[in-house]
Chain A
Amino acid sequence: MSGHSTYEPKYAAGRWLDKRLPIVRFGVDFMGFPSPRNLNYWYAFGGILTLCLLAQIITGVILAMHYTPDVNLAFDSVQRIRRDVPFGWLLQPMHAVGASMFFLAVYIHMFRGMFYGSYKNPRELLWIIGCLIYLVMMATGFLGYTLPWGQMSFWGATVITGFFGAIPVVGESLQQWLLGGYSIGNPTLQRFFSLHYLLPFIICALVGLHVWAVHHVGQNNPIGIEPKSKSDTLPFHPFYTMKDAFAIAVFLLIFALFVFYLPEALGHADNYQRANPMVTPPHIVPEWYFLPFYAILRAVPDKLMGIILMFGAIGVLFVLPWLDTAKVRSLRFRPITRWFFIIFLVMCFVLGWCGAKAPDDIAIPIGEHGMSFKWLSRIATLYYFAYFIVILPVMGWIEKTKPLPESITKAVLSGDA
């Protein structure tokens, strides 16, 4: 942690405790952490994500008290939670909608980091830990979606575990090992439940490292220059606790809108049908937060290549700190790259759209036949990778950046921050 401790216990009891276990000192220093004074609301998502993680763990532990991981009982036990368990009608949708809200917040948090160059020296490891958290979140989300044992649960799990079967030589044995049988069945459901309960605690540990790292290197900020003097920073508490609290209140309004008025909007009707290994739903789609990756998977005609590209789309995030060669962090001062980033953002939405549609349907009716979603997703996939592998490295060399402000304080006072 940076800086010296300023905590002085006021009472004898405080001094007694501080001498033996300086836990209050730790908390005070932790919350007084100097933060750049120009953080905007995009920086509130760290706090929002902490809230999401806690909400998911609390509702999840409660749901586990009523849920039964057995292929014959799982579907009914989830319905029982929603109908019979006191306040189950509230807690089950809170957990299901909460997963979507968690991903919504994490995507905004990641795009914010990309826009302001928050992954650049000395924050590479902070970014990589964040990518790891995202990866474990995806695993947790996938495992959790299997548990209600509806048609989409079953077939989504079949498709995703099928990825491992595509690995040359060891694929089939690896897949059987993961499933605990020839196909998805009771052993699979039981281990998925066990792991779904475990992974959030791994996320907690990673979040601990992530927060430790951000306290060590300090937060980045919208203009991307380091604080130089005391006037460039403010203590986290009360300034940003208040700002975060307001952002959290707005976020909770949106959360509540979904929980109370649109609890099914983000799910699939097929998941209210019991899992049936004999019938595949006509149109398998993952949860919305996996759609862009699903589109990349389907963009290539080759099975193994599709999987490699899909995992590559996540893997490329890990090396982003070294792909972006620019010295300037914030895209505010990079007039050309900023536009490439906006196109990148649009392409991510396009991929999400493609992932939700059947590959051979027509996306854009131009010319004689029009462009199918398959071809649209190919273009978007190409741009996705080109942004990281070509555009960012090249722009770092050739782009003429705008002049940076002298300090955060000067930028704030002149209204540029």
Chain B
Amino acid sequence: MSDTDKFDEQNNDENGEPTRRDFIYIATGAAAAVGAAAFAWPLVTQMSAAADTRAAGSIEIDLSKISEGQQLKVLWRGKPVFVRYRTQEEIDAADAVDIASLPDPQTDDDRFVPNFSGVIDKRILVMVGVCTHFGCIPVGEQGKIDAQGAFGGWYCPCHGSHYDTSGRIRQGPAPTNLPIPEYAYISDTVIKVG
């Protein structure tokens, strides 16, 4: 038994109730714990995205530069955005799918925002080109038929996820469809992403 314990025992109240000394111990411990947590907070939080990274903000994409069957890849927040001018066959293929059979059910129309005139233009598909499995870039550019996967859309070479012409996951380990970024038409031919 240490000297402190002996001292403490002598100072204990006869009924074994907490004394002023007990109170000081607990208060000191609590203050130290709060202080340690307050100090740890900046040490942990410094690792979050810094202000300049968060300010990466939004980009504008000119749609007039792509023609039917082509795809544009634009870097946005360190990730590529796919802008695909779909052919009529690709749109028909996306519409023909039984929604209930999809791992992440979504209609083709759900994957668009209204254009500048307020109607949905299913020709221009805008997606974040990052596989929802482990973040690789799926392949499926115009002209590379072999690389478009089993459903004519995109294929992720890392772990074999197949996406259809609407960017919806059809086969493979990816859990969800290729995400649609936050974007809006700011004129007939220009969209703003982010």
Interface residues of A (CB under 8 A from B): 155, 158-159, 161-163, 165, 176-185, 187, 191, 277-284, 298, 300-304, 306, 358-360
Contacts and interface: CB of A to CB of B under 8 A. Distances in A.
Interface in B127-170: 133-139, 156-160
B49 interface: yes
Interface of B: 47-50, 53, 56, 73, 75, 77-80, 133-139, 156-160, 172-175
Contacts of A277: 75, 78-80, 137
A181 B49 contact: yes
Given A176-B49, A182-B79, A185-B78, A303 B136 contact: no
Contact of A359 (B73, B80, B159): B159
A159 B135 contact: yes
Nearest to B132: A303
Contacts of A181: 49-50, 53, 77-78
Contact of A358 (B53, B133, B139, B160): B160
A303 B133 contact: yes
Contact of B78 (A183, A303, A304): A183
Chain A at the B interface: mostly helix, strand, loop or mixed? loop
Contact of A158 (B48, B135, B173): B135
A179 B53 CA distance: 11
Nearest to A161: B135
B49 A182 contact: yes
A162 B134 CA distance: 5
A218 B79 CA distance: 54
Contacts of B159: 298, 359
Given A182-B56, A185-B78, A280 B158 contact: yes
Nearest to B175: A303
Nearest to B48: A177
B175 A280 contact: no
Contacts of A176: 48-49
A373 B92 CA distance: 35
B157 A282 contact: yes
Contacts of B49: 176, 179-182, 187
Contacts of B156: 280
Nearest to A284: B158
Nearest to A282: B157
Contact of B136 (A163, A180, A280, A302): A280
Contacts of B136: 155, 158-159, 280, 284
Contacts of B80: 277-278
A163 B173 CA distance: 13
B183 to A, nearest CB: 16
Pick the most buried of A284, A300, A302: most chain B CB atoms within 10 A of its CB: A284
B101 to A, nearest CB: 16
26 contacts: A158-B134, A158-B136, A159-B135, A159-B158, A162-B135, A177-B48, A180-B53, A181-B77, A182-B78, A183-B135, A185-B78, A187-B50, A277-B75, A278-B73, A278-B75, A278-B80, A279-B137, A280-B139, A280-B156, A280-B158, A284-B158, A298-B173, A300-B173, A303-B173, A304-B175, A306-B173
Contacts of A155: 136, 158
Contacts of A283: 157
Contacts of A187: 49-50, 53
A162 B157 contact: no
Contacts of B48: 176-177, 180
A303 B174 contact: yes
Contacts of B174: 303
Contacts of A184: 78
A275 B27 CA distance: 53
B40 to A, nearest CB: 14
A360 B53 contact: no
A359 B156 CA distance: 12
A159 B132 CA distance: 11
A178 B160 CA distance: 26
Contacts of B56: 182
Contacts of B78: 181-185, 277
A155 B102 CA distance: 28
A185 B75 CA distance: 13
A286 to B, nearest CB: 11
Given A180-B50, A182-B79, 12 more contacts: A159-B134, A159-B136, A159-B158, A161-B135, A178-B47, A183-B135, A277-B75, A277-B137, A278-B137, A280-B139, A298-B159, A301-B172
Contact of A280 (B50, B75, B137): B137
Given A278-B73, A280-B157, A165 B47 contact: no
B78 to A, nearest CB: 3
A73 B157 CA distance: 28
Contacts of B134: 158-159, 162-163, 303
Contacts of A282: 139, 157
Contacts of A302: 173, 175
